């Protein structure tokens, strides 16, 4: 565990991407199997230990120290694993536990009955130092948060052994942790793994922001950018009808959360599209929103391992298709966009029309006309436009000049700061999470959202000072402040919400400006926000 703990500690304090790649690569080359494989599973989010969850860890530490002290410390530190690792008491008599390696920890915790896992975890924490405890808790809960994405970890593996990251991505989901076959190939001890007959993930093609470019529509085609979750759907034939999987843009398997979509996709191939939930406008055309509800409706189904029959009925999902990567076993990624589009339309015609359709091309005479169409797009499910070069192949990542994303301009509202809470990670010492509100007709201030992004480090310090000097009440970790500071909030859209007292919920709110020049009484009203509801 010591080497893995040192790796996590170094990654936390390293901001450079290249430095992170080197740290992970050095660890993978120096660490034997299967430790490095389980470490990769932890770094990529592919390690799940059912018997160890945050509630279990909280129960263990509160048996050993005062629960109030723990909770106050957790609020100050901003990270549960770090707090527990520092507060965990060293017993007078250490239990007889053999030296702990990453693989020993995983093997022990994975194969114990759920009821025995807490005691085993406690015994391990007893014999580790704080740095190792932190690594164990992060690994066991699957919430590393050390500034490393799954993609970065795979890139580090590829760089460390001189292999193509595309080849690693192609087979990743076809090999189970601790990835013995992958490391054997990387070190020249085995054959390259293949993805044959396995519904594996292929890297997505991504887009650059359009910014100030003006494109010739003779070379580029425009499509709506839908406000859902980008997914890749893969089906391979086999016994019992074959297998289908849904993957997110980061390669996370989302199949269990959307069994209705997976069950409806039984045609051999790989497609790229936007996962959406049906709205009330079931009969709408593709151009006017096509029956897609807002992201707020989709959010109810995200992250669920089990989806109830009621939710499947009330929030049925469908996919608006953007592109096709494979038609059967035929790889189409090298074809130009216009050829893939024709193949996609033919492929989609064989799918269930109640679950799949094709994202419409936006017709415009020129770029100026397209600007006008985009400016008028305020459908709840439309996030903006995509501009794709007509001759572009489907390539991994972002390639200059091929695809551009052109998001619609954000909406803004002037809101009053009401509450603040400490952040996490490097912001754990600052009040950096702000709840803000707008006025009702009766002069009451109601919360309409919460934001923590969009400000500079200097602005963070200014807001933190305001919270500390203008606190009027405390509710656990939350501070209520004087209702005198106005924040200009930018947001992508706003939706009706029964869960919020104000009746509205913002989509992706962020702080655009600190309005020290504006009196709080002149901030916006809830009624004004209701007029923006889509």
Residue-wise DSSP of 51-95: T--HHHHHHHHHHHS-HHHHHHHHHHH--HHHHHHHHPPPPSS--
- pLDDT tens track, the chain, 534 positions: 899 999 999 998 888 999 999 999 999 999 999 999 999 999 988 888 888 889 999 999 999 999 999 988 887 787 889 999 999 998 877 767 677 899 999 999 988 888 899 999 999 999 999 999 999 999 988 878 788 888 899 999 999 999 998 888 888 877 889 999 999 999 999 998 876 677 888 889 999 999 888 999 999 999 999 988 999 999 999 877 789 999 998 788 889 889 999 999 999 999 999 999 987 543 344 344 457 887 777 877 876 767 888 888 888 999 999 999 999 999 999 999 999 999 999 999 999 999 999 999 999 999 999 998 888 776 667 888 999 999 999 998 889 999 999 987 788 999 999 999 988 767 778 999 999 999 999 999 999 999 999 988 899 999 999 999 999 999 888 999 999 999 999 998 888 888 888 998 888 899 999 998 899 999 999 999 998 886
Closest CA to 417 of 379, 345, 469: 469
DSSP lists the bridge partners of residue 292 as 278
* Cα radius of gyration (the chain): 25
Per-residue pLDDT, 289: 42
- Kindly report the CA angle at 290 between 284 and 292, in degrees rounded to 5? 120
Per-residue H/E/C for 273-329: EEEEEECCCCCCCCCCCCCECCHHHHHCCCCCCCCCHHHHHHCCEEEEEEEEEEECC
Ordered domains of the chain (ranges, CATH): 205-407 (3.30.470.30), 411-530 (2.40.50.140)
Consecutive H or E run containing 24: helix 17-30
The two tokens of residue 510 are 């962020």
pTM, two decimals, is 0.71
The CB density around residue 67, as the number of other CB atoms within 10 Å, is 12
Nearest CA to 60 out of 79, 85, 25 is that of: 85
Q: Is 486 helix (H, G, I), strand (E, B) or coil?
A: strand
Q: How far is CA 449 from the centre of its chain?
A: 20
Q: Say what the pLDDT of residue 287 is.
A: 40
Contact 431, 451 (CB under 8 A): no
β-pairing verdict for 397-398 and 471-475: unpaired
CA dihedral 368, 369, 374, 375 (to 10 degrees): 80
- The DSSP annotation for 110-125 comes to HHS-GGGHHHHHHHHH
Tell me the HSE value of 21 on the side-chain side, using a 13 A CA sphere.
15
* Contacting residues for 121 by C-beta, under 8 A, at least 6 apart: 52, 56, 57, 60, 109, 136, 140
DSSP sequence for 367-404: HHHHHHHHHT---TTEEEEEEEETT----SEE-TTTEE
Helix (H, G, I), strand (E, B), or coil: what is residue 362? strand
User: What gap in Å lies between CA 427 and CA 429, rounded to an integer?
Assistant: 5
- Helix then strand then coil, in percent of the chain rounded to 5, is 35, 25, 40
Q: What is the pLDDT of residue 95?
A: 66
**How high is the pLDDT of residue 284?**
44
What confidence score (pLDDT) does residue 8 get?
93
Altogether, the residues listed in the chain come to a count of 534
Spatial separation of the C-alpha atoms in residues 181 and 167, rounded to whole Å:
13
């Amino acid at each position: 565990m010591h080497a893995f703990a040192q790796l996590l500690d170094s990654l936390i304090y390293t901001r450079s991407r290249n430095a992170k790649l080197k740290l992970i690569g050095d660890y993978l080359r120096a660490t034997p199997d299967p430790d490095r494989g389980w470490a990769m599973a932890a770094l990529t989010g592919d390690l799940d230990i059912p018997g160890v969850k945050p509630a279990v860890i909280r129960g263990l530490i509160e048996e050993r120290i005062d629960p109030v002290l723990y909770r106050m410390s957790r609020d100050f530190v901003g990270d549960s694993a770090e707090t527990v690792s520092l507060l965990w008491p060293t017993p007078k008599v250490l239990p007889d536990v053999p030296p702990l390696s990453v693989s020993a920890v995983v093997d022990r915790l994975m194969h114990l009955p759920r009821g025995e896992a807490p005691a085993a975890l406690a015994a391990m924490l007893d014999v580790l130092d704080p740095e190792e405890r932190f690594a164990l808790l992060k690994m066991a809960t699957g919430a590393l948060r050390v500034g490393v994405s799954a993609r970065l970890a795979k890139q580090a593996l590829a760089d460390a052994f001189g292999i193509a990251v595309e080849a690693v991505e192609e087979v990743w989901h076809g090999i189970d942790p601790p990835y013995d076959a992958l490391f054997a190939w990387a070190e020249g001890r085995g054959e390259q793994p293949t993805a044959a007959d396995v519904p594996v993930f292929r890297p997505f093609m991504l887009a650059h922001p359009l910014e100030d470019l003006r494109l010739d529509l003779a070379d580029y085609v425009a499509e709506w950018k839908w406000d859902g979750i980008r997914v890749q759907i893969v089906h391979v034939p086999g016994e019992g009808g074959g297998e289908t999987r849904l993957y997110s843009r980061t390669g996370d398997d989302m199949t269990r959360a959307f069994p209705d979509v997976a069950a409806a996709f039984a045609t051999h191939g790989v497609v790229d599209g936007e996962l959406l939930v049906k709205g009330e406008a079931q009969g709408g055309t593709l151009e006017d929103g096509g029956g897609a509800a807002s992201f707020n409706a989709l959010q109810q189904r995200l992250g669920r391992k089990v989806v109830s029959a009621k939710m499947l009925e009330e929030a049925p999902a469908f996919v608006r298709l953007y592109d096709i990567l494979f038609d059967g076993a035929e790889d189409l990624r090298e074809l130009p966009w216009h050829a893939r589009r024709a193949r996609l339309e033919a492929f989609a015609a064989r799918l269930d029309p109640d679950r799949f359709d094709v994202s419409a091309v936006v017709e415009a005479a020129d770029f100026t006309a397209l600007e006008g169409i985009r400016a008028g797009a305020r459908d709840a499910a439309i996030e903006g436009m995509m501009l794709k070069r007509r001759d572009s192949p489907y390539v991994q990542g972002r390639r200059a000049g091929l695809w551009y994303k052109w998001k619609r301009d954000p909406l803004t509202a002037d809101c009053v700061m009401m509450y603040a809470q400490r952040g996490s990670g490097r912001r754990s010492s600052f009040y950096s999470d702000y709840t803000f509100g707008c006025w009702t007709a009766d002069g009451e201030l109601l919360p309409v959202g919460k934001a923590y992004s969009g400000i500079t480090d200097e602005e963070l310090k200014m807001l933190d000072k305001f919270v500390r000097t203008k606190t009027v009440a405390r509710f656990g970790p939350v501070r209520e402040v004087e209702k005198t500071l106005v924040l200009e909030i930018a947001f992508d859209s706003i939706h009706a919400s029964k869960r919020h007292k104000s009746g509205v919920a913002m989509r992706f709110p962020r702080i655009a400006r600190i309005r020290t020049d504006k009196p709080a009484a002149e901030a916006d009203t809830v009624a004004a926000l209701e007029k923006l509801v889509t």
